[in-house]
Structure 1
Amino acid sequence: MAHGSELDCSGHSNDREIETIEEFDDVVGHGSLAGYRVQSVDLTDRTFPLLSLDCTGAVFLGCPMQHDAAVKVRAEGALVFPPVPHLPFDPYRGLLYTADELFAELARGGYEATPDARAYAWFQETKADRDIFASMLRAVHDDAISDALDEHLVGARVVGVMGGHAMARGTAAYEGAARLGRALTRSGFTVATGGGPGAMEAANLGAYAAPHRDEMLPEALELLAKTPSFVPSVSDWAGAALDIRDRWPGGGDSVGIPTWFYGHEPPNAFAGHIAKYFANATREDGLLARSNAGVIFLPGAAGTLQEIFDNATPNYYESRGEPTPMVLVNTAHWTEKLPAWPLLQALAAGRSMESRIALVESVEEAPAALARLGGGLP
């Protein structure tokens, strides 16, 4: 059962979420549904327990159920939020996405037929309409994703790996990011990325490769290099990644946190768990806030630069407690091409975050720098 803590209407913390049919059946065995929150569980075949058990104060979020059951639980004071028809996503979902879920129908209909592409198309349409109901559904969905992400990461030592989406497969930079993801995962960290292509995909690939023999990663990199980018075909790009997973099943877990806000950037298939958001600001802050063991910044452009200072701000004010380590990789990039490092140094001078930042030349140096700065301490 999920163990996300929440507040009930009286302000008391509880731990009473049900997110699968197995969890529902387990709770039913204890004789009461009073006070539980049931998230996106199909209860059409569970009419008897719904009719027979106490449902006082329960909340049913997007749970299909028979009419008699719905009438009875409402009469007991339960709140029933019915499923929303004709949506390409579930706003009440209780679990993170998987690549197989987001890329379903890829082989038969191409990327445009996938749930991921259809959700983006819905987002574009409703955003243009300025529909208040649609914006409410997006907010409910993103809050449910945040809850699922927190539950998934309980106790994890999370290292964020940030970097540009333009980093192509087949390049030395992509290979380096993949080796970094593998090294971090083998050291016991959970790698978290922005969940998209480029450096993000490479780090998630490295995490996926961690349980496999060392030779697996260069072999996978060679195969992926045949489809270097998601342009011009997302279908070919995603299909190549799914082929790698089929060839080497049982990869290591990592987290991808992408967004439909950047619809031209599809999610990568190597993250074991995907927290996809409609609101990019929620996604950005959430990714950095959950990187409790530190953040490694690979070369990137505007998005990565924004993430550096998005992370520096709470470190500067210590608004999240002890500043988390920040490691910037590639001296020339961060001192000459995009000179974020001098500004970061000036910002950190005289504050506790000064001892928590480092600039290194290569990805091979990043894990040691992270450890030197105190990385790994949530």
Structure 2
Amino acid sequence: MREIESLPDLDAVLADGRPLRGLRLQDLDLGGHEAQLLARGDVEGMVVLGGRMTDELATHLRAQGALVFPTDPHAPVNPYRASLYQPHELYEGLTTRGYEATPDALAYHWSRDAVRAHDAFITLLRAVHDDSITDALDEFLGDAPVVGVMGGHAIERGTPAYAAAARLGNVLAEAGLTVVTGGGPGAMEAANLGAFAPDHGALEDAVDRLSHVPSFRPAIEPWAEVALALHDELIHTPVAEARVRSVGIPTWFYGHEPPNVFCNGIAKYFSNAIREDGLLARCTAGLVVLEGAAGTVQEVFQSATRLYYAADDDVLPVVVLVGAQHWATRIPVWPALEALAAERAMEGRIHLVDTVEEAAALVIGT
């Protein structure tokens, strides 16, 4: 089996004369290759995932033993896409029709409507979409060292906590790490922004400009519009174009949280469980946990489970909680982590600190 995700790859396969049996064609416009494919009978076991083709070609492929997967014509996103999202894709139509008409909002409602209707076909398409996003994320990140930054969505722009999270993202990215977050607003946006900014001066200016629209509540439109304008300035800097520095991994499960835009790529999932597991599994260079509530606590213990059951000879990433009073007293996660870590390999890999500077030093120093 071989995945074909681009037309040049398809051209190469057709040119070398090999059988097409077992190929996976993902999200391709086959219009320019129709005559060649209609002339081929060696397509048994080929799987065509989405894309565009005529009814004649689809009928021919099926008659020769290929599987042609349909889509839902009402789907606001492409279930078979072969690449991560970019911010303007998810926010298309924001300035003219408002957030509720964007693909991001429509995808959430499409998913919720299918759940209420117990629609098995849409459930299947959501699963295919999420698997496609996982594949695209693997290719996008490659072997880059990844550090996760977790934290609450409620932290507003213009606050000291937001500025601190942005500094953290910038320091980590400058150290050569790819910063990955849950892709939402608040601390997640700040860390992605810090990683995305080309230098400290640009970051300070960005934090100041964003502070004029502190929150996505009560209206998402002004919050997103100022961010998209800033994104478009930063994306064309040499630093942003040099390598992947910032990735968001949000989910439509949290329909009330719009995605932040300060990312080289956005891996948005329908399934929060798949998203959480994949996000944490990729944090091979460490995990920094800023102050947060229920969602952040879930991520802490999901990460702790991986550390707890690790073998003695496993190379374990560090997990650093920032905010001693918050994590030891207000939401007493730290005592539970200490109890779990006692006399296990994870004992020396968990830390509680008070500043993002301390957290960055621990991650970069390992």
Using the size of structure 2 for normalisation, the TM-score is 0.93
Alignment of 1:115-130 (within 5 A): 115-130=103-118
Deviates more, 1:252-261 or 1:223-232: 252-261
Equivalent-residue separation in structure 2 for 1:321 and 1:18 (angstroms): 35
Give the aligned partner of residue 9 of structure 1.
none
Q: Does the 8 A contact of 1:204 with 1:255 survive in 2?
A: yes
Tell me whether 1:182 sits opposite 2:170 in the alignment: yes
- What amino acid is aligned across from residue 213 of structure 2 in structure 1? T
Equivalent-residue separation in structure 1 for 2:74 and 2:345 (angstroms): 51
Q: Does the 8 A contact of 1:39 with 1:62 survive in 2?
A: yes
Q: Does the 8 A contact of 2:170 with 2:200 survive in 1?
A: no
The size of the alignment, in residue pairs, is 357
- What amino acid is aligned across from residue 96 of structure 1 in structure 2? L
Deviates more, 1:52-61 or 1:292-301: 52-61
Tell me whether 1:34 sits opposite 2:21 in the alignment: yes
Match of 1:171 among 159, 167, 171: 159
Using the size of structure 1 for normalisation, the TM-score is 0.90
Equivalent-residue separation in structure 2 for 1:249 and 1:312 (angstroms): 35
Alignment of 1:183-198 (within 5 A): 183-198=171-186
- What amino acid is aligned across from residue 51 of structure 1 in structure 2? L
Q: Helix, strand or coil: the match of 2:200?
A: coil
Tell me whether 1:216 sits opposite 2:208 in the alignment: no
Give the aligned partner of residue 46 of structure 2.
58
Equivalent-residue separation in structure 1 for 2:92 and 2:11 (angstroms): 28
Equivalent-residue separation in structure 2 for 1:321 and 1:194 (angstroms): 25
Deviates more, 1:316-325 or 1:222-231: 316-325
Equivalent-residue separation in structure 2 for 1:268 and 1:80 (angstroms): 35
Q: Does the 8 A contact of 2:145 with 2:178 survive in 1?
A: yes
Match of 1:94 among 82, 85, 89: 82
- What amino acid is aligned across from residue 38 of structure 1 in structure 2? L
Give the aligned partner of residue 150 of structure 2.
162
Q: Does the 8 A contact of 2:71 with 2:125 survive in 1?
A: no
Q: CA deviation at 1:321?
A: 4.4
Match of 1:283 among 269, 275, 293: 275
Give the aligned partner of residue 218 of structure 2.
232
Q: Helix, strand or coil: the match of 2:179?
A: strand
Q: CA deviation at 1:63?
A: 2.4
Match of 1:329 among 308, 322, 327: 322
Tell me whether 1:249 sits opposite 2:242 in the alignment: no
Q: CA deviation at 1:75?
A: 3.3
Gapped regions of structure 1 (runs ≥ 5): 1-13
Instruction: Summarize deviations over 1:1-43 as a string: whole Å, max 9, x none.
Output: xxxxxxxxxxxxx5x2122333323433333433321111121
Deviates more, 1:67-76 or 1:299-308: 67-76
Tell me whether 1:108 sits opposite 2:101 in the alignment: no
Give the aligned partner of residue 352 of structure 2.
359
Instruction: Summarize deviations over 1:88-108 as a string: whole Å, max 9, x none.
Output: 111111111111110111121
Give the aligned partner of residue 128 of structure 2.
140
Equivalent-residue separation in structure 2 for 1:267 and 1:356 (angstroms): 31
Q: CA deviation at 1:44?
A: 2.3
Match of 2:308 among 312, 316, 335: 316
Q: Does the 8 A contact of 2:43 with 2:61 survive in 1?
A: yes
Q: CA deviation at 1:137?
A: 1.8
Give the aligned partner of residue 33 of structure 2.
46
Instruction: Summarize deviations over 1:140-173 as a string: whole Å, max 9, x none.
Output: 2112211211222221111110000001000111
Q: Helix, strand or coil: the match of 1:313?
A: helix
Q: Helix, strand or coil: the match of 2:59?
A: helix
Tell me whether 1:292 sits opposite 2:284 in the alignment: yes
Equivalent-residue separation in structure 1 for 2:7 and 2:346 (angstroms): 46
Equivalent-residue separation in structure 2 for 1:349 and 1:343 (angstroms): 10
- What amino acid is aligned across from residue 322 of structure 1 in structure 2? V
- What amino acid is aligned across from residue 334 of structure 1 in structure 2? W
Give the aligned partner of residue 263 of structure 1.
255
Equivalent-residue separation in structure 1 for 2:9 and 2:92 (angstroms): 25
